[in-house]
Amino acid sequence: MFQAFLIKYAEIAIKGKNRPLFEDALVKQIRRALKAVDGSFHVYKTQGRVHIDTEGEFDYNGTLAALKKVYGISSIHPVMVLEDEGFDELKKRVIAYLAELYPDGEHSFKVNARRARKNYPLESMEINAAMGEAVLEAFPAFHVDVKSPEIMLRIEVREKIYVYSVDIPGAGGMPIGTGGKAMLLLSGGIDSPVAGAMMAKRGVSLNAVYFHAPPYTSERARQKVEDLAAIVSGYSGELWLHVVNFTEIQKYIYEKCPHDELTIIMRRYMMRIAERIALEQDCLALVTGESVGQVASQTMQSLMATNEVCEQLPVFRPLIAFDKQEIVQRAYAIGTYETSILPYEDCCTIWVAKHPVTKPSVKVIRRHEEYLKDGIDEMVERAVNGRDVVKIG
């Protein structure tokens, strides 16, 4: 019964000069999201809104599912589009529309008409009154409530007539492309995909880096990360995944440094490499899935030690104060949870010490990294230059 969608966005974030930028980014992201949906869509903006017109048959549920992933949308309104065939015909169609959407029950309603085409014979107020009367007659259990109606029946008379009353919440946030680009450190776990989606929600587009350690980590573990990246790209738009071979560096650290500091030192090298690639790719920040106290490498002291190596870029940790349960809920909501819990090995867990340091001293760690000085720079060079880059989404 619907042939179009009206898209509303929260206006608060988009005052003044930023408004066209915001709207154009939103239109672009809606077009991107609809590419994968069956149907022919025409997306365009008018004052303060975005419209989607459809042509012919289209996948209604698929359209809604795609739109719900587009950040920047505050609400989605499916619209019935009618040719102007006179007011009597309009009444019939509106009543059929209400009968289908609200088949039973007592509902309060209000008609809110807007006559944008001035040669229509009835003025807005006249449409409200006449349509309200027709609805009351057809649905004796309905009543009018002008203050807070359950059903706000909107009728917009333009060249055609647009009727809508359904209000589906959008994802909120800002459209991708309005917030610069960040490099997500993406592991196969639960946390980092959630962190990436949260940054994307603020309009930040993503690149991602994954450290793997073949043959200690399998192709399937890498595939899992690519699958997670693909799910995240449903929100963030296409992204480049940089797959860095970390085996040589990991082994070298294992050989030269105290084993209880292995995780911290490894994480410092991950951050250094991620920052290098990020700067090369014009990213403005790093993003991780860290959360205080979750594991030994995420105590305040450990976070300080890993943070210290990032010289130019800020590190964003959107999950820093979240409980695991909250993160799991978000992972469910964005659709990454089932993939994240597949049991493939992670490069960090392979040589992990039984009792890793939980309160590393930056000074001590720095001193122990000195043991690596003969080989590490070349290894980092090799890891950065030899990385695989995969386009996702």
Interface residues with ligand ATP (CB under 6 A)? Answer: 185-187, 189-192, 209-211, 270, 288-290, 294-295, 297-298, 346-348
Helix (H, G, I), strand (E, B) or coil at 380: helix
Q: Tell me whether residue 71 or residue 211 sits nearer to ligand ATP (CB atom).
A: 211
Q: Closest approach of Cβ 189 to Mg ion, in Å?
A: 3
Q: Tell me whether residue 171 or residue 241 sits nearer to ligand ATP (CB atom).
A: 241
Q: Closest approach of Cβ 346 to Mg ion, in Å?
A: 5
Residue of 282, 300, 280 lying closest to 290 (CA atoms): 300
Q: Which does 250 bind (CB under 5 to 8 A by kind): Mg ion, ligand ATP, none?
A: none
CA dihedral 100, 102, 103, 107 (to 10 degrees): -150
One DSSP character per residue, 116-176 reads: -STTSSS-HHHHHHHHHHHHHHH-TT-EE-SSS-SEEEEEEESSSEEEE---EE---SB-T
CA dihedral 364, 366, 367, 372 (to 10 degrees): 130
Q: Does 132 bind Mg ion (CB under 5 A)?
A: no
Q: Tell me whether residue 80 or residue 190 sits nearer to ligand ATP (CB atom).
A: 190
- 81 vs 155: CA distance, rounded Å: 10
Q: Tell me whether residue 63 or residue 247 sits nearer to Mg ion (CB atom).
A: 247
Q: Tell me whether residue 189 or residue 318 sits nearer to Mg ion (CB atom).
A: 189
Q: Which does 186 bind (CB under 5 to 8 A by kind): Mg ion, ligand ATP, none?
A: ligand ATP
Q: Does 291 bind Mg ion (CB under 5 A)?
A: no
Q: Does 193 bind Mg ion (CB under 5 A)?
A: no
Q: Does 196 bind Mg ion (CB under 5 A)?
A: no
Q: Which does 327 bind (CB under 5 to 8 A by kind): Mg ion, ligand ATP, none?
A: none
Q: Closest approach of Cβ 247 to ligand ATP, in Å?
A: 12
Q: Closest approach of Cβ 275 to ligand ATP, in Å?
A: 13
- 365 vs 193: CA distance, rounded Å: 29
What's at 151, amino acid-wise?
A: I
Q: Which does 288 bind (CB under 5 to 8 A by kind): ligand ATP, Mg ion, none?
A: ligand ATP
Burial class (CB in 10 A: 0-12, 13-18, 19+), 67: buried
Task: Provide the mask over 317-356, with x wherever binding to Mg ion is found by CB under 5 A and - wherever it is not.
Answer: ----------------------------------------
- 39 vs 387: CA distance, rounded Å: 38
Six token digits for residue 183: 């490099």
| Dihedral sign computed on CA atoms, order 198, 200, 202, 205 | positive
Residues 6+ apart with CB under 8 A from 303: 290, 292, 317
Residue of 98, 381, 87, 368 lying closest to 253 (CA atoms): 368
Q: Which of 175, 189, 193, 318 binds Mg ion (CB under 5 A)?
A: 189
- Determine the size of the site formed for Mg ion (CB under 5 A): 2
Q: Tell me whether residue 97 or residue 211 sits nearer to ligand ATP (CB atom).
A: 211
Residues that bind Mg ion (CB under 5 A): 187, 189
